[in-house]
Amino acid sequence: MYLNAQDSAKYKEPSLSKCEATDMGGAGAWAALVVAVCVMCGEGEGSVTPSPHELYENELASNDYLKVGRSLNLLPRFGFLSLSIKVFPEQESNYWLFRERTVEVFRKNSYWAVKSHGQSSSTETPRRAYDPHFVVDFCDNVQDLLTAYFDNFYIEGVPEPHRVFTSSISVQATAKHLGIHPTYLRSMYSFVLVRLLRRNRRATLDGQPALTGSFKSASSRIRVGSTESVNQFLDQYGTHVITEYEVGDVLYQVYVFGNRTYWDFKNNFAMSTTEDDLIRMERYFSPSHALYVGDVKLASGNPNFEEAVQHRLLEFTYFRFYNSIFQIFKIPDLEESLEQLDGEVVISLKLEKITKIVPKSPERHWLGEILDNTLSLFYVTM
């Protein structure tokens, strides 16, 4: 559910950056040089020289491992993948994004990444505006809350992606990430998650990916009936391939409600952008209705957030102060201050099982059986 802010003077519709025109005078020589490098560094297994716009480009991420077309192994970090992929704010070491080992499985000149959000060829991260609307999720319970937080994550073979990130993390740590007290995660409460997203860049796998010789050799060593051969393959090449991801930042806040108030809120409250409805939202999203108002959090964990922005999000009602993410509507320069804060998290991720790229054979079927059973076992026991 969305709360649009386009009619508010505090917000401006962010325009998507358009590709800038380039001087083609020197482009041909540069493209020829890149093609030559790609051919020379390829594996020489019948590779086809791509056209310039099809050249593989390294992902402009803060860690070289975050690239579409690479594979990773979920099993060693299953349940606490947030230690390897940044999705929550951290108190220390904020300036990392992805530190899970990944492996090249496709020949570099056979695939590339399609980028959006006006990504330039510079390694400098472009500064983009936040979306012109809030995303509001009504969550009947804790599971719904975590599902909503990870709603843009897809991991093939895992029905609830949030479990890969949080099922082995303590209740205290999860509550701290969400900005609420741990008590509310242990009992029967309902929640509303309000988010404001900044989308910096998205990368999607494209092209005609051709497997590397080492990958094909490793897959040929799988023996039907041998679990050990499958484990050796998974140890080397992992369980999933990164086919898409999006990087940006998220400003968010969690509100805790008692069941009676929550269901009235959920069933009767209509989202709108008129001033009257904004006032009504502030009434519901306040201590007068919510049992607990969580802290406003910035997913990137920028250490300057509290000093630059958070203290300006305070509201006052019933002789008490509380944080309100909706102050964004009221303070003209607050969004600009927020956009000045550097930092990123992974805000969406698509992983597909590695069995999809293994050549069809009885060995692939055996690999699929073992992988599916292992993922199911990890899922139900975490």
pLDDT recorded at residue 169 = 93
H or E segment and range at residue 308 = helix 305-308
Q: What are phi and psi of 222, to 5 degrees?
A: -70, 130
Mean model confidence pLDDT for the chain: 80
Looking at the predicted structure, is the pLDDT value of residue 207 above 80? yes
Section 202-219 average pLDDT: 96
DSSP character at residue 1: -
Spatial distance between the Cα atoms of 361 and 377, rounded to a whole number of angstroms:
25
Spatial distance between the Cα atoms of 245 and 243, rounded to a whole number of angstroms:
7
Looking at the predicted structure, is the pLDDT value of residue 201 above 90? yes
- The tokens describing 85, both together, are 């992929």
pLDDT recorded at residue 22 = 32
Which of 129-133, 149-153, 296-300 is least confident?
Answer: 129-133
Spatial distance between the Cα atoms of 335 and 10, rounded to a whole number of angstroms:
8
Section 131-138 average pLDDT: 90
**Residue entry with tokens 């936040």:** 130
Spatial distance between the Cα atoms of 195 and 272, rounded to a whole number of angstroms:
16
Q: How confident is the model at residue 15 (pLDDT cuts 50, 70, 90)?
A: very low
Section 346-374 average pLDDT: 97
- Asked if 348 and 149 touch (Cβ cutoff 8 Å), the reply is no
pLDDT recorded at residue 285 = 86
Which of 186-190, 218-222, 227-231, 326-330 is least confident?
Answer: 326-330
pLDDT recorded at residue 16 = 30
pLDDT recorded at residue 187 = 87
Q: What are phi and psi of 207, to 5 degrees?
A: 105, -160
The pLDDT tens digits for 310-354 are 888 887 766 678 888 988 877 878 888 898 998 899 999 999 999
Q: How confident is the model at residue 196 (pLDDT cuts 50, 70, 90)?
A: very high
Going from the C-alpha of 129 to that of each of 14, 17, 304, 329, the distances in angstroms are: 6, 11, 18, 15
Q: How confident is the model at residue 68 (pLDDT cuts 50, 70, 90)?
A: very high
- Asked if 220 and 366 touch (Cβ cutoff 8 Å), the reply is no
Q: How confident is the model at residue 128 (pLDDT cuts 50, 70, 90)?
A: confident
- Global pTM reads 0.79
Which of 182-196, 253-267, 303-317 is least confident?
Answer: 303-317
First CA to last CA distance, the chain: 30
Looking at the predicted structure, is the pLDDT value of residue 8 above 60? no
Looking at the predicted structure, is the pLDDT value of residue 90 above 70? yes
pLDDT recorded at residue 319 = 67
